[in-house]
Structure 1
Amino acid sequence: MIVSLTVTAATQAATRHEEDALATDASLTLSAVLSAAEQRHPVQRLLAAQAATGNAEARYGSRWMPESVQLKAFHMSDRTFDDIGANESELAVSFPVWMPGEKRAQKAVGDAAAVTRVSREAGFRWQLSGEIRRQLWDIRLARRQWQFAQEQEQRLQEVFEQVARFTEAGELARADLLSTMQQLAVWKAETIALEAEYQDAARSYRSLTSLSVVPEHIEEVLSDKDDAGPSHPALSLASDRMAEASAVAEAVSQTNGYRPTLDVFWRGFRGDRMSTSVDAVGIGFSVPLGKSPRKGPEIARAWEAYAQAESEYLQARRDVELQLHEARHQLETLQRQLHNSEAMIKTAVEKYDLDRMAFDLGELSTNQWLRRLAEFQEIERSHQLLQVRYGAAIAAYNQAVGESL
């Protein structure tokens, strides 16, 4: 009865596990996963708004005039006082003009904004690639740990059934049966905990990508890059932001606060009722002398923004160098560990076969067999998880040198 209930529970758990697990798709590529996550990511709206801002800056820099044309009207009459028929009227069109160097500086802002937009999109794809890489390898690792626990549970289930038969035949004591049952219960608890970790990883993946499948092949080829150069998405974005901040500061410095204007006007006037009306057309201009008192703080804030962008660039360079150093160190460490583990697993497999044969022949007690089985399981588990972690380390290195999916 105990054996029957144990087998039934294991079968039901395995069925439920298969229903909840993410399916694998051999035709699904990493770039397709990136595109799916990219389309629904909240940052897309921010990127669109930033692109619109850059386009607006470029359009403004290409305008003939920095402000809208103004229409001015003026009329004067002596009717209220002397009333001799004197009057004067004026109608003028005022054309604002760029300050010397101002349009060139504004055009530089638009050009810098266009470059920053491209690098911002590339930086977003790179950051999202890193998040997808991490989640996919978290899923792979969690799933492998979960599957490994199920496999060990199944092995212990087989041992339990064998011990149960020996106990019923009187060849083993009931204490051996209870000991095996206890070990089986421990692995069942481990399986449940690892299933929860896998489901958490799968839930994060579904939330990010809206996909219910994962690529069957997520392994990457190790990049041949040795360092992170200026083309690294994070460094390129930080550098372009610094260039844009510099262009903005230069543009703010070129403006005056008061706009020069060119006026084209018509003026009509009459000295008294007996005089003839005179119509005239004229041209005038106004040029500000000095800068507005408010320009000082505005220029200071613009250069403060540049200093902030420069600081962020230097910090980004440090972060990238540190990330690359850690990724390279992790990769080299796992390479050595995996090489050593491959030698260990070969010996462990051979020893496992001999121990199993000895137990079947009655040369090992149940407790001795369970201890040796646990030793083999730990070696096998460590080796398989090392293989997964090594694949994740390659992906992390590719991410560190600036490669997107």
Structure 2
Amino acid sequence: MRNGVFLGLFFLTFCSLALRAETEFPPDYKLHADPALSLRDVVDAALSRSPDRLMIKSRQEIAIALKRKSSSFFSDSPEIAISHQNDSLGSNQGLREWEGSLNMPLWLPGEKSANRRKARMSQAEADAYKALMTWQVAGEVRQILWNIKLAEATVRENRKSLEMARSLDRNMKKQIAAGNLPGRDALLSRQETMSREMALITARSEYFHAGQIYQKYTGLDRIPADFTEQMVERETGENLPLINLADARVDYLQAEFREITSRWNSPPTLSLGVRRERGAYQDRNIDSVSLGLSFPLGGRVHAAPKRAAAAVALADAERQRELTRRSQSLQLHEAHHEYETCHAQLLLAEEHFSLAGENLRLGQKSYELGESDMRDFLRIREQYFDSSREIVTQKIKCQRAVARHNQVKGILP
């Protein structure tokens, strides 16, 4: 008996300490729902704060740079060379010579068009990367919002359970005072109430944590009043950002391989020069103009390692594309399976909740008539609470399954 009293006092002390933890976060914290705020608005807000926007800008700058290069008159930077020669430190007979030349690297046949294609594919890859980042941020926002919805529902269900426990505790005290119930039931009722209080604190903490994640990710302190979605059917493989980026990457590396194949290790160079010279013991200048064309020898041999490296990069990109398609196909299957499973479970949860409500009604009547004890009644009521939470969360999970289905299909809000 003494051990039982000690355990009861220990439990109540532990509950009191847990209740003090409520001050670690605002107990009245709530993200306000804004009817004017849409899911797309939240995605745009999160995208504006995403570090990936820096990568988007960098990829676009690469595409612009490649386009400028492909529009150039020369295949590489032209060079200006200036030289002067005299015999002042030698024979000192009055020899003077000045020479200047402009060296212009030339495009090989097909090389410029290959560079233009590479620039176009680079821009397409940058656009695909931007679309992918938007899609990924949309997925994160969807997940965060539904986590908030689940946490909010858990708080609501725990608050309802606590109110029922407190109501029972008040009635219990009246019945004990009237001598209709044994005094030991008061301790069980109080323990049950404090357990509900602890569960509510935990639920509020989870809701606060989910809200903080949302605020840090989006910079907003409001959520859309309604962000449920309708399932959108689309042909498999149509406009999927992951696959689009993989395709764009392969196209870019194919263009790069063709560009490397079309050029030599160093380009042929057209030289245009002017020369002024004065010979020894002469009093007049001799001006001349030169025109030259130089071709590298063995250029393809020296460029072979670059072509081989480009071929390896292209093969790896094609392999990654196939892996991406396989992974995307599995995700589509999982999304369909999650949606179908969720609705099957929801039907059972609704039936289970109906039975749990009837069982609670009969259990309470049995307890009031003295046909069962307090522990049996609390067990029945716990089953009712669990069933109530299950049906509420299951409805939310089914709505979340629709959002995930649309996300995997590449549907943006």
The alignment's TM-score, normalised by the length of structure 2, stands at 0.88
Tell me, yes or no, if structure 1 residue 334 matches structure 2 residue 349: no
**Structure 2 letter corresponding to 1:146:** V
Once the two structures are TM-superposed, the CA of residue 157 in structure 1 deviates from its matched residue by 0.6
Once the two structures are TM-superposed, the CA of residue 207 in structure 1 deviates from its matched residue by 1.2
For 1:129-174, what per-residue CA distance to the aligned partner results, in whole angstroms no more than 9, with x for missing partners?
1111111111111221122111101111101100111011111111
Once the two structures are TM-superposed, the CA of residue 364 in structure 1 deviates from its matched residue by 5.7
**Structure 1 letter corresponding to 2:318:** E
How has the CA–CA distance of structure 1 residues 13 and 74 changed in structure 2, closer, same or farther, with 3 Å as cutoff?
closer
Once the two structures are TM-superposed, the CA of residue 86 in structure 1 deviates from its matched residue by 4.3
Q: For 2:274 and 2:30, how far apart are their aligned partners in 1?
A: 82
Once the two structures are TM-superposed, the CA of residue 307 in structure 1 deviates from its matched residue by 2.3
The aligned counterpart of 1:122 is 131
**Structure 2 letter corresponding to 1:285:** L
Tell me, yes or no, if structure 1 residue 188 matches structure 2 residue 197: yes
Q: For 1:305 and 1:105, how far apart are their aligned partners in 2?
A: 18
Q: For 1:61 and 1:71, how far apart are their aligned partners in 2?
A: 22
For 1:84-131, what per-residue CA distance to the aligned partner results, in whole angstroms no more than 9, with x for missing partners?
444443222222222222211111111001111111111011111111
Equivalent residues in 2 for 1:4-403, closer than 5 Å: 19-225=28-234, 227=236, 229-274=237-282, 277-291=285-299, 294-353=302-361, 355-356=363-364, 365-403=373-411
Aligned residues: 395
Given that 2:157 and 2:388 are in contact with CA atoms closer than 8 Å, whether structure 1 keeps it comes out as: no
Question: 1:150 aligns to what SS in structure 2?
Answer: helix
Instruction: Please identify, of 113-122 and 290-299, the stretch whose mean Cα deviation from structure 2 is larger.
Output: 290-299
Given that 1:258 and 1:292 are in contact with CA atoms closer than 8 Å, whether structure 2 keeps it comes out as: no
Instruction: Please identify, of 108-117 and 72-81, the stretch whose mean Cα deviation from structure 2 is larger.
Output: 72-81
Given that 2:27 and 2:204 are in contact with CA atoms closer than 8 Å, whether structure 1 keeps it comes out as: no
Instruction: Could you tell me which runs of 5 or more consecutive residues in structure 2 were left unpaired when the two chains were aligned.
Output: 1-14
Q: For 1:216 and 1:58, how far apart are their aligned partners in 2?
A: 45
Instruction: Please identify, of 346-355 and 234-243, the stretch whose mean Cα deviation from structure 2 is larger.
Output: 346-355
Q: For 1:367 and 1:272, how far apart are their aligned partners in 2?
A: 123
Once the two structures are TM-superposed, the CA of residue 36 in structure 1 deviates from its matched residue by 0.7
Given that 1:235 and 1:317 are in contact with CA atoms closer than 8 Å, whether structure 2 keeps it comes out as: yes
Once the two structures are TM-superposed, the CA of residue 354 in structure 1 deviates from its matched residue by 5.1
Q: For 1:295 and 1:351, how far apart are their aligned partners in 2?
A: 82
Instruction: Please identify, of 107-116 and 198-207, the stretch whose mean Cα deviation from structure 2 is larger.
Output: 198-207
**Structure 2 letter corresponding to 1:136:** L
Once the two structures are TM-superposed, the CA of residue 299 in structure 1 deviates from its matched residue by 2.4
Instruction: Say what the alpha-carbon RMSD is for the aligned residues.
Output: 2.6
How has the CA–CA distance of structure 1 residues 191 and 306 changed in structure 2, closer, same or farther, with 3 Å as cutoff?
same
Instruction: Please identify, of 154-163 and 249-258, the stretch whose mean Cα deviation from structure 2 is larger.
Output: 249-258
Q: For 2:75 and 2:240, how far apart are their aligned partners in 1?
A: 37
For 1:214-248, what per-residue CA distance to the aligned partner results, in whole angstroms no more than 9, with x for missing partners?
11212110111252x14211100111011112212
Given that 2:22 and 2:201 are in contact with CA atoms closer than 8 Å, whether structure 1 keeps it comes out as: no
Q: For 1:132 and 1:290, how far apart are their aligned partners in 2?
A: 56
Instruction: Please identify, of 74-83 and 324-333, the stretch whose mean Cα deviation from structure 2 is larger.
Output: 74-83
Once the two structures are TM-superposed, the CA of residue 194 in structure 1 deviates from its matched residue by 2.2
**Structure 2 letter corresponding to 1:179:** L
Once the two structures are TM-superposed, the CA of residue 82 in structure 1 deviates from its matched residue by 4.5
For 1:23-53, what per-residue CA distance to the aligned partner results, in whole angstroms no more than 9, with x for missing partners?
2222211001001101111111121111111
Given that 2:144 and 2:210 are in contact with CA atoms closer than 8 Å, whether structure 1 keeps it comes out as: yes
**Structure 2 letter corresponding to 1:394:** V
Q: For 2:349 and 2:305, how far apart are their aligned partners in 1?
A: 64
Question: 2:299 aligns to what SS in structure 1?
Answer: coil
Q: For 2:27 and 2:34, how far apart are their aligned partners in 1?
A: 15
Given that 1:109 and 1:251 are in contact with CA atoms closer than 8 Å, whether structure 2 keeps it comes out as: yes
**Structure 1 letter corresponding to 2:239:** S
For 1:54-82, what per-residue CA distance to the aligned partner results, in whole angstroms no more than 9, with x for missing partners?
11111111111133332222333345444
How has the CA–CA distance of structure 1 residues 367 and 226 changed in structure 2, closer, same or farther, with 3 Å as cutoff?
farther
Q: For 1:86 and 1:364, how far apart are their aligned partners in 2?
A: 126
Once the two structures are TM-superposed, the CA of residue 359 in structure 1 deviates from its matched residue by 5.3
Q: For 1:90 and 1:304, how far apart are their aligned partners in 2?
A: 46
**Structure 1 letter corresponding to 2:335:** A
Q: For 1:95 and 1:207, how far apart are their aligned partners in 2?
A: 54
Instruction: Please identify, of 357-366 and 162-171, the stretch whose mean Cα deviation from structure 2 is larger.
Output: 357-366
**Structure 2 letter corresponding to 1:121:** K
How has the CA–CA distance of structure 1 residues 78 and 178 changed in structure 2, closer, same or farther, with 3 Å as cutoff?
closer
For 1:345-367, what per-residue CA distance to the aligned partner results, in whole angstroms no more than 9, with x for missing partners?
33444454455556566666544
Q: For 1:289 and 1:226, how far apart are their aligned partners in 2?
A: 53
Q: For 1:270 and 1:62, how far apart are their aligned partners in 2?
A: 42
How has the CA–CA distance of structure 1 residues 268 and 172 changed in structure 2, closer, same or farther, with 3 Å as cutoff?
same
Instruction: Could you tell me which runs of 5 or more consecutive residues in structure 1 were left unpaired when the two chains were aligned.
Output: 1-5
For 1:267-298, what per-residue CA distance to the aligned partner results, in whole angstroms no more than 9, with x for missing partners?
23344425754322232221212217652332
Q: For 2:67 and 2:229, how far apart are their aligned partners in 1?
A: 40
The aligned counterpart of 1:3 is none
How has the CA–CA distance of structure 1 residues 252 and 171 changed in structure 2, closer, same or farther, with 3 Å as cutoff?
same
Instruction: Please identify, of 306-315 and 341-350, the stretch whose mean Cα deviation from structure 2 is larger.
Output: 341-350
Once the two structures are TM-superposed, the CA of residue 403 in structure 1 deviates from its matched residue by 1.0
**Structure 2 letter corresponding to 1:70:** E
